[in-house]
Amino acid sequence: MKIKAAYAVCVMLSISMLAACGSGGKDTPKKTDSLADMAVEINGSTLQIYGTANEFMQNNWKISYTENDKKKVDDLGELYATITNKEDENQEINVLLKNWEDDAVKVNDAQIARFSISHMEEIGMKIKLPKKITEKSTIRDVIKAYGQPSAYYVNSFMGSVDSYLIYESKGDYQKREMITFSFENTKLKRVDFEGAEKKKKANKSTVFTFKDVFGYKAFTDITEPSVIYDDVLLNGKVRIGSIEIGKDSALGTLMDEGWMIDSTYGDETTTEIYLTKDDAWLSVTAAGVYQEGTQIDKTMPIISINVQIIGLDDIEMVLPGGLNTSASAKDIMKQYGMAHSLYYTKDGLEMNYALYTDDYDIGAQTSFQYNKKGEMTDFSITFRK
């Protein structure tokens, strides 16, 4: 049970980090009507952000796990825990408990700052979320109830498509509240509620409309690639002007065409190099170590390239497979198939294609970024090893 709970807690933490995290102060957040009170009814009992564990556990629930088996939450501290249904131990809720006092408090008396509910339907958990969302609700149901999400993240891997709808309240990170709906192959699998770090006034949730730019069907309508992006997108070459860059290209390929080194940053095995030409710039990561003050080795092989399209308007660029940088997100997916991940935010869209090795490491990756007007602004390619 503890191993299972600890794993779930780690996942809860990773989901919350899809948005920036901040550290809290001493002020205790109060209940608010932001995002519909941040409350959920579970098997007839109400679990409320800013409530205490004890308030919820009066109705047939118990704390079955705490981080490091602690019985108290340290002064101004926090603690991960699992709340379990006394009649059905498969029904678990992972919570983050916070103590806003100068003295340690019992776990039951700590405030619920974050909680996560997963696999509701499989384990028979009956939930009523704000705005009449239930364990049977679809992505469309959530969007219809809450409006456009603050961010929308889609991940495709090994035949499974995971989608995340993220809703945030307005304000800086210390006043922000967040709900994340996680879907697996269109089924609601998980809901995460996260409260504010500091006392705040009630406000409405952030509203961001992206459907007029990209369209919800940009990814759902395209399930099969028209080309094999393993060979074309991830194993091909990008052309910048008259230069072709691929996995066998050397740094000198760019330098010999007038690209000048602006700055370098290195570690023990690779060097990140920023190059400029007229008003344009790009960066590459090359295999090998460059010592500042010495002549750079132009034969160092290029591992990856990142291109900021702004400033390169006069230079023709052709992506692997033949598309150019005027291609829309839909054009990219029509050519290369469904992306492994899409991340919609108020600033635009990031889409990623990846080739995974047998041990699930990324063997190659191509990423495209679009602004909210639907224009490609950046692309990067990590070439196949």
pLDDT per position in the chain (385 positions), as tens? 443 444 343 334 344 434 433 333 344 333 334 454 567 888 878 888 888 888 777 777 888 878 878 888 888 788 898 888 888 888 888 989 888 888 888 988 888 888 988 877 677 777 788 888 888 888 888 888 887 777 777 776 666 778 888 888 776 666 778 889 998 877 888 899 888 775 433 334 433 344 443 443 434 433 444 455 556 666 678 888 888 998 889 999 999 999 999 989 888 889 999 998 887 889 999 998 887 778 889 999 999 999 888 767 677 888 887 888 888 888 887 777 767 777 877 778 888 887 765 555 556 788 999 987 888 999 998 887 6
Could you tell me the residue ranges of all domains in the chain?
A: 2-208, 238-382
What pLDDT digit, counting tens, does each position of 282-336 carry?
999 999 888 777 888 999 999 999 988 876 767 788 888 788 888 888 888 777 7
The three state secondary structure string of the chain is: CHHHHHHHHHHHHHHHCCCCCCCCCCCCCCCCCCCHHHEEEECCEEEECCCEHHHHHCCCEEEEEEHHHCCEECCCCEEEEEEEECCEEEEEEEEEEECCCCCCEEHHHCEEEEEEEECCCCCCCCEEEHHHECCCCCHHHHHHHHCCCCEEEEEEECCEEEEEEEEEECCCCCCCCEEEEEEECCEEEEEEEECCCCCCCCCCECCCCCCCCCCCHHHHCCCCCCCCCCCCCCCCCEEECCEEECCCCECHHHHCCCCEEEEEEECCCEEEEEEEECCEEEEEEEECCCCCCCCCCCCCEEEEEEEECCCCCCCCEECCCCCECCCCHHHHHHHHCCCCEEEEECCEEEEEEEEECCCCCEEEEEEEEEECCCCEEEEEEECCC
